[in-house]
């Protein structure tokens, strides 16, 4: 297997961390998965802004950082109110950076947009499930409120994928 393939699989795994938790029923699992997915979006969005030469990817990445930072802040406040712990942001950031720093620049845009589609598909499913079945009204409302923006992110990522991915 090529080194690039292994790196892409590694990032896909990092961005898809939330999917591991997505099938669990507890509110703690949702908070963990949603926080992890948000941190992955922030880290990869910041890196995309540094590495890409594409204006549309840079704009998209800026939006990902802004939106996922806001969502993680809201979620952290809700979690604190419900006495639910959130994952350690510094440890997750380091883990994500170690995987993506090994990418070659010429493949970054393609890898980034392909993984954005995959990660947002998983995150949309996670938030849909929470919005439909959460036992915590605050988390149910947060998931329902955040879902439309995540669906927009997915549609935008799919559009970028037709230009830069696959």
Q: What is the pLDDT of residue 5?
A: 39
Gap between the Cα atoms of 123 and 100, Å rounded: 20
Closest alpha carbon to 136 in 38, 23, 26 = 26
Q: What is the pLDDT of residue 10?
A: 46
pLDDT in tens, 21-42: 444 457 889 999 999 999 989 9
Q: Sorting pLDDT into bands at 50, 70 and 90, what band is 103?
A: low
Query: What is the separation, in whole angstroms, between the first and last Cα of the chain?
Result: 18
| Statement: residue 115 has pLDDT above 70 | yes
Query: Could you tell me the residue ranges of all domains in the chain?
Result: 3-17+25-164
Closest alpha carbon to 156 in 123, 127, 117, 130 = 117
Average pLDDT rounded to a whole number, residues 139-158: 97
Interhelix angle 27-51/105-133, nearest 10 degrees: 160
CA angle 29, 35, 37 (to 5 degrees): 100
Least confident of 44-48, 92-96, 104-108: 104-108
Average pLDDT rounded to a whole number, residues 4-20: 45
Per CATH, the number for 3-17+25-164 is 1.20.1260.10
Gap between the Cα atoms of 58 and 134, Å rounded: 35
pLDDT in tens, 55-94: 999 999 999 999 999 999 999 999 999 999 988 887 778 7
| Statement: residue 19 has pLDDT above 50 | no
More confident residue, 13 or 137: 137
| Statement: residue 99 has pLDDT above 90 | no
């Amino acid at each position: 297997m090529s080194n690039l393939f292994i790196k892409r699989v590694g990032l896909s795994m990092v961005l898809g961390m939330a999917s591991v938790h997505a099938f669990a029923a507890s509110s703690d699992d949702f908070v963990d998965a949603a926080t992890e997915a948000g941190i992955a979006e922030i880290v990869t969005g910041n890196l995309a802004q540094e590495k890409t030469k594409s204006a549309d990817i840079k704009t998209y990445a800026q939006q990902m950082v802004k939106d996922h930072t806001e969502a993680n802040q809201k979620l952290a406040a809700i979690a604190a109110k419900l006495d639910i712990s959130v994952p350690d942001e510094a440890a997750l950031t380091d883990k994500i950076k170690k995987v993506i720093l090994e990418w070659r620049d010429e493949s970054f845009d393609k890898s980034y947009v392909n993984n954005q589609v995959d990660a947002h598909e998983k995150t949309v499913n996670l938030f849909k499930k929470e919005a439909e079945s959460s036992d915590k009204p605050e988390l149910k409302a947060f998931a329902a409120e955040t879902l439309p923006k995540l669906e927009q992110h997915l549609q935008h990522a799919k559009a970028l994928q037709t230009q830069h991915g696959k």
